[in-house]
Chain A
Amino acid sequence: MNARRMLGFTRRMLLQFRHDRRTLGFVIGMPLLMMLAFGYTFGGEVSHVKVDIVNLDSGIPSVPMFSGNRTVGNRVIDKLNRDTLELTASTDWEASKGKVDRNEAWAAIRFQPDFSQDFLLSANATPGALPARIEIYIDGSSPNIAQTVLKVVTNAYLAAINKITEETGQSARKIPIEPDISYAYGGGDTKFIDYFAPAIMSMAIMMVTTMLTIILFVYERRSGTLQRLLVSPATASEIVFGYALAFAVLGLLQSLVILFAAMLIFNITVVGNIAVALLVILLLAFVHQGLGILLSASAKNELQAIQFIPLVLFPSILLAGMFWPVESIPQFLQPVSYCVPLRYGIDAMRSVMLRGWGLEHIWPQVLVLVLMACLTLGGAVLQLRRRK
């Protein structure tokens, strides 16, 4: 091997970066972005999960340690981890459950008026006494969040029991509290794949549409076909929307393949209307097609076009609540997630497929996607019309 010849290649390659600063920036900046994005999202714990508490526990007025604000219900609530749960107090159980049904809270927890009473009877192993029940009404559409809430509640009542044991010097003969869980959506048997499938469908359409559009339009610009189209009677809107329709057809086909594969192979549960889910897919395709055209304008060649892909991909995957709920993203990154179209897509898709919601519930996400589609496609039309 001739070292001089070999080093000639090395030198040529490195010198190339002097003329292509963007690629150099990509080589250095991308791992940094990946590190930050994965570090913050993987390392993040689920937090700020909204939970509504209905504490009706009237305590045991004759026993000072279970009266006033020292009822067993209050003691359990005191031990709930406030970093993980964001608690609101309520007195109306039905209203509280309604919040969960409307996705305004992830769970509702109720302590019945005789909660302390039942606790004491059960702790003393009074014949016929049943453990005090903490009623938990939970949205099971996100297994991750549901498990976190149940874990926090379990830890809280175990800690409360320990504290009471310390104070009384007597240990309970059996655990005198048990959770009574009912699910608003999903259920204890909701699998991760059920939760993940809507996200895969959303991500697939995002990736395919963005990548193909960027590459397609870089080709259109480089090969001269776009110039030719712009000298034909075709308007910029016709070009953009013509391609948007093509991507919509591809997106629908792709989503149906994913959906049926997930249903047949992984037996996923779909409780909602598939047509509504496909509408969300269409909107995602439109948003990302517009984005792809806009990005393609800044790429001189296919190599530069490819560099945009991780730039769109990582924030989308990590900030849209795909693997981990948006609640687990660090607080300072959460505002950024509102700018990621995939967040609304995944949220709407999960609501349709896991909660069985229709347009009457998911219209806010649909509206945001429509506005984003108008923005990116409109921008793409203007960008094509712009003459240098």
Chain B
Amino acid sequence: MAAIETGRLVKKFGKFTAVDNLDLKIEEGETYGLLGPNGSGKTTAIKMICGLLRPTFGSVKVLGRAMPSGEVLSSIGYMPQDVAVYIDNTVHENLELFASLYGMTPARFREREREMLDFVDLAGWRDDLASTLSGGMRHRLSLACALLHEPRLLILDEPTVGVDPELRASFWEYFDKLGEKGITVVITTHYMDEAGHCQKVGLLRQGRLIAEGDPEELMKKHGKRSLEDVFLEVARRGAE
């Protein structure tokens, strides 16, 4: 069963087409990178996949269910592009809210909280208000909130924006581990170099999927040494 399947997905805002006939099939256990420059429709596509936006046309299925479906939400971990944490609550209180939303037992929460705080390197700030954290730290807290309940499908919208290179590397190390555990990870990013961690990438430009495949194979196919070059090449051809 595909973790995510979209069929001819279209989203228009007035005359502007943000997502244009997007056909995606992301298999379970796959780490999939949705790549594209700012404004290419990545976030809009993700929001339709999560059920936050109503498609103008087309269909979305997540874990076998047509979206929006309340039944699959407990299996999804979602980290929006914005630093979506409660800044007037402590790190612990933020995590506690998400534990309650996902019905975690207190014992399980304590265990997962420890793991997550160690992972995002915020153990020393557990009782600090999120408003006192730096932008990068808030981003890490946001990621911890998405991972806390061990979702089957993790959807991360630009998780590495504003994160320093060292932490970015450790994030990817963790995402790789999640992939090894069979968790489906969907990541949007405009850092093309990060795509090497993905088993499959989709290149988005002006709402359209202009190329898709294994990153190595894409580079080989287009005779390029980086995905950025592949993107530029495909975009140039498309423009012609």
Contact = CB atoms under 8 A, between A and B. Distances in A.
Interface string B121-160: 0000000000000000000000001100000000100000
Nearest to B11: A388
Contacts of B50: 227, 231
B101 A233 contact: yes
Nearest to B146: A228
Contact of B73 (A222, A225, A231, A387): A231
Nearest to B76: A231
The 6 A-B pairs of least Cβ separation, nearest first, read A224-B82, A224-B84, A224-B80, A231-B78, A387-B54, A232-B101
A3 B144 CA distance: 52
Interface of B: 47, 50-54, 68, 70, 73-74, 76, 78-87, 98, 101-103, 145-146, 155
A228 B102 contact: no
B103 to A, nearest CB: 7
Contacts of B47: 227
A332 to B, nearest CB: 41
30 contacts: A222-B82, A223-B83, A223-B84, A224-B82, A224-B83, A225-B85, A225-B86, A227-B50, A227-B52, A227-B78, A227-B84, A228-B79, A228-B84, A228-B145, A229-B101, A230-B52, A231-B50, A231-B73, A231-B76, A232-B74, A232-B102, A233-B74, A233-B101, A234-B101, A387-B51, A387-B53, A387-B54, A387-B68, A388-B53, A388-B54
A230 B84 CA distance: 12
A331 interface: no
A222 B102 CA distance: 23
B73 A232 contact: yes
Interface in A210-237: 222-225, 227-235
A242 to B, nearest CB: 10
Contacts of B81: 224
A222 B82 CA distance: 8
**Most B C-beta atoms less than 10 A away, residue of A223, A229, A232, A387:** A232
Nearest to B80: A224
A234 B86 CA distance: 16
A234 to B, nearest CB: 5
A230 B50 CA distance: 9
Contacts of B51: 230-231, 387
Interface in A81-131: none
Interface of A: 222-225, 227-235, 387-388
A126 to B, nearest CB: 79
Nearest to B138: A223
A228 to B, nearest CB: 5
A232 B84 contact: no
Contacts of A228: 78-80, 84, 145-146
A234 B73 CA distance: 9
A194 B101 CA distance: 45
Contacts of B83: 223-224
A337 to B, nearest CB: 36
A54 B111 CA distance: 79
Contact of A227 (B76, B80, B86): B80
A227 B51 CA distance: 10
Nearest to B85: A225
A294 B87 CA distance: 23
Given A223-B82, A227-B84, A232 B98 contact: yes
Contact of B102 (A225, A230, A233, A388): A233
**Most A C-beta atoms less than 10 A away, residue of B73, B81, B145:** B73
Contacts of B86: 225
Given A231-B51, A232-B73, 11 more contacts: A223-B82, A223-B87, A224-B83, A227-B50, A228-B79, A228-B80, A228-B145, A229-B101, A232-B74, A233-B103, A387-B53
A283 B54 CA distance: 34
